[in-house]
Each structure stands twice: as structure tokens, then as C-alpha cells.
Amino acid sequence: MDRTIAIVLAALFLTSCEQRTVHKTTEKLAAFDVAEPPSAEMAPTTGPRIAYSYTVSYAFDRPTVAQVQGDQLALCRRLGRRRCLVVRSTLHTPGPDEHVAADEAMLLVDARIVAGLNQRLDVLAKAGGARLTERQLTAEDVTRATIDADAKVRAKQALAERLLAIIRSGKGNVGELVQAERAYATTQEELDAARQEQASLARRVAMSSVTISYFYDDTPGARSAVWNSVRTAGDTLATSLAALISAVVAGLPWLVVGGGGILLLRRMARKRGWRRPWRRSPPPSPSRRDDTML
């Protein structure tokens, strides 16, 4: 029994020692100059781990967002899921009364090829009538978190192996074995969580996120007055013709009724011998006037 307790205490003591070693290593890393290349012996363990993320924005003068986004996502899919993965994409088709469309796509790209892929994405966007409006690069140093996660995995794994050895030996009373089994189960859960954190940090370093924004603005007045006038000339002409046709159609019944009434009045006036008050009889001709005087 004493030997069992001593082994458990020794395991816990080793775990605390490893954790103190991790803190000392991370403190040294915090003061480490990343601009200075590390030595060949220390590079695999203390080299900087940088997670990069990119943000790109494109503006469109033509409604070609769907075409450009489709070409870019197809390029990513052709590279394979290990080198490029489409995480999220949105595509909004504006209605007849909508003039603004804002869409987005998010990719996870192998950090070793992300620079070349960004250039190819720009070429596809330019071919589709888009222009680059913004590009951002964010670098996050996850070296300290990676070292802590690696050390935590090693410590929990070592402790789990020692506890498992105690349980398999069967030494000690029932209560001590039950406590050892509970401690082993807790340690396994913590080990799984540490491994997940370790894998997540490794993915962040190996795969860079690329967020692409697409913006199309067709709002009247968004461009110059000359461009808007040329662009809306057809709409203006169509609107004028539509108004003229509506006016003719609306006034046609009144024209028929009014024309029929005028014709009826003229016919009645002819039958009764009415004359227009403003029409006077023509003056006598000069020859008839001379004959009367003679």
C-alpha cells in the first residue's frame, strides 16, 4: 500500500515538474527574437508557430458575382480538400428593386501555397470584371499555446500510463484501486481535451484562412452623373413611351365620344339651317356692285 501511494505521489510530482518546465520555456520564448533564425537543434521545438489569415474584398461594376465566385470555388475544389477546403460561401441574387449585393466565401488553404492561390484568385476576379478594393493579412503567434499544449499532452499521457500500471498490478486495497481508476478516467478525459487543442493549433498553423468578400452596388447615383445618364437612357425612354401609351389609351374613349357628339351637332345644324354666329356672309363681288350702281 505504501508503495502504491508513493508511486502516485511520484507521478503527481513529475507532472508538476513538467508543468513548471513548460512555464519556464514559454517565458524564454516570450523574450525570443523571432527575427533571429533559431539554431538547427532548437528549431523543431522552439521555432515560431504563426497562424496566418487573409481577407480580400472585390468590388463589381457588373452583376458577375456568381460567375467569379463559382470560378474561385471551383479552383479551390480542384486542389483537393487537403490543400484547399471551402468552409462557407453565400450568394445573394438581388431582386428587381434591390441594387446592392454583398456575398462572402471562406477557404482554408495550405499555408505553403496560399500566396500563389491568392494571385490566381485575383486573376479570376479581374477576368470577371471585378477590382481589388482591400487586402489584409493577420499573423497570430501561437507558439506559446502550442508548446503548452504539447507539454500538457506529454504530462497527461505519462500520468495515465502510471495510473494504468497501478491498476493492472492489483496491489492495494479496493478503495485505493477505485481511486486509481477514477483518477485514470479523469486523466484520460483531460488527455483527450489536450490532444484536441494540440490538433486545433496544428491545423491553424498548417492551414491559413482566406475570407473573400464580394460587393456589387447598382444604386442610382453611386457612379458619376454622366455614367448614370447613359446607363438609364433606355429606362427613361421606355418610361416615357409607357406614359404616352397610357395617356392615349386613357383618352381614347373620350375622343370617340367627343368626336361623335360634334358630328351629331353638325348634322342637326345642317338639317335646320343653322349657321355659325361667327361665320358671316361673303361680301358682294366688285362686278355685281358696279351693276347695281348703274
Instruction: Answer whether residue 124 is part of any domain.
Output: yes
Instruction: Answer whether residue 132 is part of any domain.
Output: yes
Domain of residue 262, residue span? 232-279
Instruction: Answer whether residue 293 is part of any domain.
Output: no
0.75 cut: is pTM over it?
no
pLDDT for 138 equals 94
Q: Give the integer Cα–Cα distance in Å for 275 and 293.
A: 30
Instruction: Answer whether residue 288 is part of any domain.
Output: no
Closest CA to 236 of 68, 99, 115, 244: 244
Q: Which residues contact 107 (CB under 8 A, 6 or more apart)?
A: 76, 84, 85, 86, 87, 209, 210, 211, 212
DSSP 157-172: HHHHHHHHHHHHHT-S
Q: Give the integer Cα–Cα distance in Å for 183 and 190.
A: 11
Are 209 and 98 spatial neighbours (Cβ–Cβ below 8 Å)? Answer: no
Same domain, 173 and 262: no
Closest CA to 124 of 67, 79, 177, 53: 67
> Of 221, 243, 262, which closes a domain?
221
pLDDT for 79 equals 93
Q: pLDDT class for 279, splitting at 50, 70, 90?
A: low
User: In this predicted model, what pLDDT tens digit does every residue of 47-69 receive, in sequence order?
Assistant: 788 999 999 999 998 888 999 99
User: In this predicted model, what pLDDT tens digit does every residue of 207-228 receive, in sequence order?
Assistant: 999 999 999 887 765 555 544 5
Q: What would the grid cell of residue 275 be?
A: 349657321
Same domain, 236 and 113: no
CA distances (Å), origin 104, targets 57, 90, 132, 232: 9, 5, 14, 29
Q: Which residues contact 22 (CB under 8 A, 6 or more apart)?
A: 147, 148, 151, 152
Q: Give the integer Cα–Cα distance in Å for 162 and 166.
A: 6
Instruction: Answer whether residue 161 is part of any domain.
Output: yes
pLDDT for 193 equals 93
Same domain, 148 and 265: no
Same domain, 119 and 244: no
> Of 190, 221, 252, which closes a domain?
221
> Of 189, 221, 253, which closes a domain?
221
Instruction: Answer whether residue 286 is part of any domain.
Output: no
Same domain, 25 and 162: yes
Same domain, 114 and 240: no
What angle do the packed helices 65-79 and 114-127 form, to 10 degrees? 150
pLDDT tops 60 at residue 38: no
Same domain, 193 and 265: no
pLDDT for 217 equals 84
Same domain, 3 and 106: yes
Q: What would the grid cell of residue 228 be?
A: 448614370
Q: How many domains does the chain have?
A: 2
